[in-house]
Structure formats: structure tokens, C-alpha cells
Structure 1
């Protein structure tokens, strides 16, 4: 309130006026001329004050009024009463500009006082726009939206009765849209209700689409919030866990689930702690790769399942985790099938091992008999020829057995490589020497071309020799007699390339694609008698890849020859490694006064080997059980013990251990049909000095007995 008084319009005002009108009404202005303090008459109110002072009566407005202070003679001053409507104007500005639908309603009551409907007192433009109506003011909810769902009326009534705010999501079917609305009382309960509504139709449509995707997805999906509480799951996740899957509220409650680290992981079989579940880790913000776990379901009775999991955090715009999603796939059938396949492979490998052992046993006496024939009938050409045929066939069968066992070991990852820097040229020469008997038998011409510089590779010497020998043998087998075989060694910048080419039967384009597959053979009608069973090249590829190399085949077609190219990474640093000493071929069986005990339950094999060794000048005693061998040791001290591993009453490993425990220090030689790497290691651990696989390479055995040691390195 303020008064402007007298002819100079001196101003008097209260504190409320001064606070609302700013510095023009500071305390120094009190009692001073109003127009002088304001720098002139105020733009609107000045002329109106002048009119009142002239006796033209009071002035009334919504936010202020001017009344004359007068007597019978004249007007002495003006009384002004003002209302600050800034808040009201701000309210109307917000009310009109917000994009959310806002309305104010009042209850409509029946005669008994019960609420039957609500009348719109106000509605902003957004309300009309979102709801699709025009000027609802003064009309009831039922009249504006016929027919409206009763849930809308019930929500508003609940707020009117309780005086408590309420949040709901409802679909307004008559306009076909979803709304998220907040209802709150204005004033005393039961008087006015405010409704703030947001159109969430697009969100609901997206949720419906997401729900459809979740339900049709062939994987189980769960969603958690930032606390780890599970907020959404699909039907598939219930199927995996069981219908009574507990909806955990925190990460700590994940302990209700039973899960274990899967087989093949470092912690296989250990129970998953609540914080170790993939979903819990994703809630913490971890980025997870796929993991395999085992779970126990909530079915009755519970089931054990193998589950492939994948989880990822849900992040806000700042990158902070605000939840996580997990996907699960039941792979129990696949894991069971893989386990069954592993078992089948194991049974196959076990079968091949036993088969090799059982086949080596009859090969041993055949090989020994052939050698005896060669020695005893040196002047008989026919018998010499027969002996050579037997020897070649035994060597061929032995090669097949070795390849079968090698491919099995490589497939199971049981091959251990001892890598060293080698000059590939020397091993080409050694492979040519190994392949010489077959090349000579088929009257082939072999030429080798190489550059003068060293061809250094990092490889396992035994396996490199095996690869090269297989490539040469393959060329010899598939090339008709009097053929040409060439070996070319190229030293390139980054690799050593060895190409074995021939003018043999060649390969069709179709076969080139599978030349290195197991049991592949290039046209059975074209194969020579000793072509093998189609595992040589498969073994070559696997051994080459283990050493970081590649191998491929090329051919212009049938009867146009073939080229097999081996490529290995080149080693440039360092000097050339020393050349390996070639193995001693046909080492002489130097007679020596060696006393030997041979223990073998295979009577034929034992007698043939004993006869061969006696022919070489050794004294040989033969027993067929471990018990007899131990009894023999009580009265005799042979220079060397030749022990079969598969003795009937006690295996050769245990026999060797007992002999060593009794103080035996003489040479122990294992003679066996078992040649797996683990079996060789087991033999040395048991106390054997040497290990020979049947059929025995008699030259090597004679060399060992003659010199007391092997002069060159061998496979065992």
C-alpha cells in the first residue's frame, strides 16, 4: 500500500510496497515527492493518479486500485493498493508452454456426497494436443472422453479421497494412446486435483516389440537394474531355470542360484559365488566374453544343465553402468554330444593303440625270421629275394601303424615338439636316404635342387624328417615305375619353400581340395599296391601346422604329375646349425660275448629274436613271465635285460622297478608293441635305459649291444 499526498504528491508507503517496487522506494524516498523520486510520472500509473487527483473518481484493476482521499471540498491524496502477480504470471507461462498435458479437476458429487465424475477447471494447450480434444474446460471427464476406462476415474477418486499423490501408467483407449500421469491434490483433500500426463505411446510400442522379441528369441534373457535386481525375464529363462525361478532383488541374493565353473576351466567344478555370476559382474561394469557354466535348476527334482552365458552392462550417456543384461543358452545336449564324441575318440585311440600293439607282436617274429633267412642263406638268391620282400612288407605295415598312431596323437594334442634351428637341406638329404629303398624298387630318378645358402627353419628335427620322408614316399607311391621326382629348396625372404614334384598320376581339381584330408585317395583304380590308406598327407599337414608352416598341392590333372609344397618360416639370425649325422644303415652285428635275458610272453616273437641274436654271437636265455625273470636274476647276472612290457603276471614297468630296487645296474632294454610318448616316458621313469618298439630294428639293437650305447640319436 502507498499514499501520494498533497499538491506535491509526497509519497508514504509500507514495507511490502518497498520490497516489491525496488530501489525507487528506498527509505530516503519516504515523504519526498513521488514523481521526483521516480524520475518522472510512472508510465501507466502516473496519468491515472493525476485523474484521481482531479476528482474523476477511483481506478480499479486486477492487480491494483487507486482511491481518492477527499473531503467535501477537494481530493487531498491517493490511496493505492497493489497485488504482486509475478508467481501467477509465471504459473500461467509454464502452464501454457509445457509439453506435458496438465489439467486441474474438481470432483462432481451426487446428492449423497459421493464422487461420480470430475470437471475440468483448466487444461493447457499440451493437454488438448495430446488428448485430441478442444476446450475441455467446464466439461466432465466422462463427457470429454466417452467411454473412458473406469480405472482413470478410480485413480482420480483415490487422490481426492486420500489426499495423497499417485503415479500411474494407463491406456486411454478412446484416443488409442498410453499416458504416464502424476495425480496430486491441490489444497484440502477432496477439493481440486492436478493431473500431469506424459504421452508414452512410443515407449509402450517399443516395449511391446521388445517383449515380442524376448519371447520368440531362442535364448534366455534377463535384465537387471544398477543394484542387480532382476526387472525383466523372458519365458525361455524360466524354462531353463524352472518355473519357480526366484527374482533376486540384489546381487547378494544370487546365492540362491546354484552354479559351477564348467569343465575345461581352471576352476572347473567350483561353486560360483554370488558376485561371480556373469550378470553380477556385468552390473559392476565388466565386459564379459562368452562363458560356460553348469547350473542346478529349481525344478522338482532339480536338473543339472550346461549353460553358455553372455552378459554386458547397460550404460548411461556418461558411460556409467545403470544395469545389465544377460543371455543364456542351454547347451546341455551339445556338451553331452561333445563328451560322447570325446569318449568315442578316446575309444578309437585306445583301439588304435591296442591294434598297433597286437599287430606289432606278429610283425616282430616275421621281421626276425626274414633277417634270419637273409643271414643264414646269403648265397641263395631266391631266399634273399623272399627275405627282402618280407622285410619290405613288414616295414610298410610298420609305417602304416606309426602313421595311424601319430595322426591320433596329433588330433588329441599329445605331440610335444622340441624346436631347434635346423638347416632344412640336411633333412631333405636324410629323407631321401630313408625313401631310397622305395625309390630304388620303383626305379625312380630323384634330383634335388637348392641354393648354396643355408635354409634355416625352427622345427622339431624328428617331425621335420617325418614330413619330408612322407612327401617323398607319397611321390614314389603315386608315380609309375621309371618316373621322375624332383625336390626343389627355395630360400625366400620370409620362408623356406620345399617342393616335391613328380610326373605321376596327378590329381583332379576336385581331389586337390581334399588332398590333405584323412583317408583321401586320388582314384582307387589308379593306386599302386602300396599306396597306403590315405593318412600320410593328413599327418603332413597337421605336423606342418604345429610348426607354424603350411603345405599345399598343385596338379594339372590326371596323369600330369603333382607338386606338393612345404613352407616354413625362415630363421635369419645366427649361424648355420651343425649338420645332423645320418643314421647308421645296416650297422654290422658285431659278435660279442653278451649274455642276455629275453622276457616275452609271445613265444614266436621271443624265439625268433633270440635265434637272431644268437646268430649275431650273443648268449640268450628266454623266459615268458616276470616271475621267471626275477627267479633268473637270483642266480645270473646278464649283461643286458630285454623285457617286454606286456608280460602276463607283472608288466615290464614294475619288473624294471623291482630289478633296479634289488641293485641291478646293468642295461635294461624295453621291447614292446606300445610306442605312445607317455609309454616311452613311463619306461624311462621305471628304470629302462632304452626303448624299442616292435618290430625291433635289429641293426639298431645289434649296434647297442655291440658298443654298449647307440652312436646316433633315435626316436626313443
Structure 2
């Protein structure tokens, strides 16, 4: 039975396929096994060594001729490749032949297909014979190669066996040399002194650090007995003679090692002379501090006596007045005595504070002018919690301290609170807010820069307008009526200054620059007048007072109610916070030293509340802590003003008026 000839026909037209096959069958008496191929997937699936001829219908195949021929090349298939129904174009025919076609027939030359098919079939058979001979040669060569391979393996095993012992010896020797070299290198370069001594204590090696420690040359120590016994204890302290006036103290550690094949000791010496001297200095300083504490205790004992002495007549006359057993003609004398001793006590306290300020160079008698830097710091503290909640970093640069301007402390703090609050509000988590103060001619200049969302350049001219915001959706997301910056501009201009804004654009942050005129720190004549007799009316003013001392609370309440204010009192910070939330007072007066929660914490809690009232309410710290540090802490925690006890009724009323009348 004849074996069929396997043919792949690349043609998408069944009609054209029948024409081609019938043309071949009429002239060739051979059985054909034809597989018609319509797409690339079928073509790849049917390519195998049994295929003898590939026919490509140039016009009716969707598979490109060049791609079909390239696939044969890529798969190492060398069989005849005949193109039929080609264009009647000589150039096209040449290109196909160059690309690898065995024959090229135009549609007008199809009658030649049977003849060319026979020739191609002969070529295919010839290729098969050549492939068979090549396979025989390859098989013979493979057999020879295998023999040579196994022989070479055996030879390699023999060579490796001979070299193995030699290699092992070389590795051991190299490892020993490397180990000794590394050990020597570590010893030489170690900053601590290192000495190798044998069992007899004779120096066999010494590094440069040890030579420096002993202040000797290498040849002077090698072969000599070490100058002190080698102890087995770790961290033993030894004295080292350097040949100079002073001896050094070293900490010694000993490790047993092998040195050049023999047991030895590696001694490490660390110079602790300076540490010992520092320890001695600390001991001296401690003794000095203890002596200073004794002096302080003695001073406090004297101070206690001097402060208690005026209390005796104050308490004595007060008790007599309360008992109503004092003659009428002695009442004025009693009150005069009480006032005189109270004034004496207040004067002593004032003197103590003045002495403290003088010793630190901080004595300043300026109750009117405002330190702008302190105002800025206080405003920063009011937004600190909000900034921390967003992991924002507030970076300050106060190149000039004690920058005095004439202005309203509460309103100045309101200006910067608004700027800082906006910076925190519109800066994404992890961003930064920069605050810088400097002098600019006769003005104090403050710059507030953030890395936030920035401002559209088209909106910049309207930033300070009332009721204007960049877009309503942002307004709804962040809250607010769009009045903050307009109010800021108004307040800055009321202080005789100006404010500017810059932004490179959306996503590039914003910078606000505020200029406020500087003023002399000298007091004007109007500011130095006695205000105790000024009649002030606080009608309609709601004041919250916090103090854990009932006597102080009653006194403050009486003074302010006497001026017409509505006063609420609290004896603790939690109670005060509750009253604040319920009544929203116009002014807060708080003591600092209170049990459980102090005044600083209370102020921070109030400033952190999400309301404009909490952020801008005037607040007075009224406390017995009257030093410069205490004042700074009060402002940093959010208080507008720091006043020290005792305070006169007139001065208290004046300060309340200064804060509240400007904020109403």
C-alpha cells in the first residue's frame, strides 16, 4: 500500500483549494494527504517531520507568506515551499524566491503546478535521505564522544585524587596564615592597648596603642617582663607608669590565646584616666551641690521666718476683727497694721523676684508693650495638639527675641492663631509649617510658610476678602465661613501693619508675611498713672474664675462682681472645663498650681476645643509663680497674660478691661 504524501495547503477558500488539488491529481498518480490550513494556530499545530510539502495560496491565504516561511526556519524544518496564485509580477516573484520559496507560480501559470510539485517532491525525498545519512553520522560521533567523555571523567578523578591532599594542606596553611594576619591586624589597629605575653609574662607582641600608653619604644618592651602582674579577673584596674609626672589608670582584660603555636595571654588595656578624673569631678560637684543645698535650706529657713513674721499681726488682728471684741477706735489701727504687713510681705516677694531677674539679666519693667515673639509662641501652642494629630512638624526660627510692638495681646494672638490654624488645616499629614520672625527696618516681620495645598494664582487677589473661599467643596470639607483671613488683615492694619500672601500654585504651599511696626519699650506717661481709682463697668461680661483656694476665689469674685461682671467659679480644672463648655465665658482667670490637673493643662485643653471661642478667649494666668520662666510657660500653654499674686484689686480690674474691651 502506497504511503500518502503529506501536504499542508494554506488557503482560506474551499473552492480555490479544490481547484489546486484537482489540478495536481489529474497529473500525478500519487495519494495525497492534504490538510487545509486557515490560520496560524492550525499551521503551528500541524507542522511536524511527516509534512513533505507546503503550498501557499498567495491570494486566498490569511497567513502571510513571509511569516509562514519564517515559522519553518524557526522550527528547523527544511521542506519545499511552493507559492501559487501569485501576482503576475516579476519583482514579487523574485522577492518570494529570495525569502525562501522553492517555486513561485502566478495565477496565469497554474498549469505548471503538477510538474513543479513532482520536482519539489523529489527534493523532499532527497532531503530525507540526507537527513538519514546525517543521523547515522551524528549517532557515530555521539558514541565516540560518550567514550571520550567517560575516559576524561576517569582521568579527572585520578588527577583530583592526587591534588586533593595537596589542596587540603594548602587551605589549612592559608587559613592559619590568614587567621594570624587578621589577628595581628586587629591588634595593631585596635584603639585600646594590646599586649601578648607568654606564660612567663614576657612580652611577645605589643600594638602601637599600648606603646603610646606606656610611652615606650617597641624594642624597649619586646622580650621584657610586663611591668605588672597579669590578673585573671576581668576589668581589673592597673596603674601604668609612663615615665612622666602622672601615672595613667587602665582597665585590664585578659584572654587566653594561641600565639605562634604556643599558649599565651592577650592583654587589653583601656585608658580610663579621664573617666576616673571625671568621676572624681562628679564627686566634687556632688559635694558642692550638697553644700549649695545646705545653703539653700538655711536661706529658706531665714526666708520662712521673714515671711511668717508679718503673718502674725495679720492673722492676729484679723481674728480680733472677726470676733467683734476690738474697740471701735482701734479698728483703723488694726486695718492699717494688716495692710502694712501685707504690703511688707508683698514687697519681700517682689524683691526676691527682682533679684532673680537681675541675676539672669531679665529685669524688665514694661507692663504695656507686647513681646511679639511670646505672642507667637503662645499661638503656636494653641495649635500644637492639632498639628500633632496630623503628624505635622512646626519649625520655628526666631532670629531676634524680645521684639516689642504696641498692640493688643489678645488680638495679636488671634492674628497668628488664624494663620497657624489655616496652615495646620490645609497641610496634609506629615507636612511642615515654618514660622520665622525677624526685623525689617522699623517693623517686626513674621513669615508663616506651609507645605500644604497652596492657593490657585487666580484666587490670590481675593484671599483677604470677606466671605470668599477658593471653592465651596473645600469649605464644606474643612469648615469655616471664610472670615478668618479677612479679620486677620483688618487686625494687622489696625496695628499699623500689613500682610501679604504668596503661593507658587496648587500643591506648592503658601507663605503669609506680616509686618507690624516696632515701638519703644519705654512707658508713656498715660500708662504709668494710678488706675486703682478708675471706675470700670463690666456689665454684660461673663467671667470664669478657677482657683483651688476658696479665699482667693472669694476675693476675685467680689472684686469683679463689684464692677458689674457676671462671675462663675470653679475649684478644679475638670469643673472649670465643664462650666466653660456649658456657658462659653468671655474671660478666663485661672490659678496654675492646682491638684490633679494644673492651669497649664486646663488652658491647653480649652485651646484644643474645636471652636473659635475656645481658640480666641482672653485668658489670665493668676499665680504665685512669678518668675520669667513661669511667665513664658503660661504664654506657651495658651494664656494671653500672666499676672503674679498678690494682686491689687485696681490692677486686676485694669488688666481685665484691657483684655476684654478690645475683644468685645
Q: TM-score if structure 2 supplies the norm length?
A: 0.31
Higher relative contact order (CA 8 A, sep 6+): 2
Q: TM-score if structure 1 supplies the norm length?
A: 0.29
Q: Which has the higher strand share?
A: 1
Q: Which has the higher helix share?
A: 2
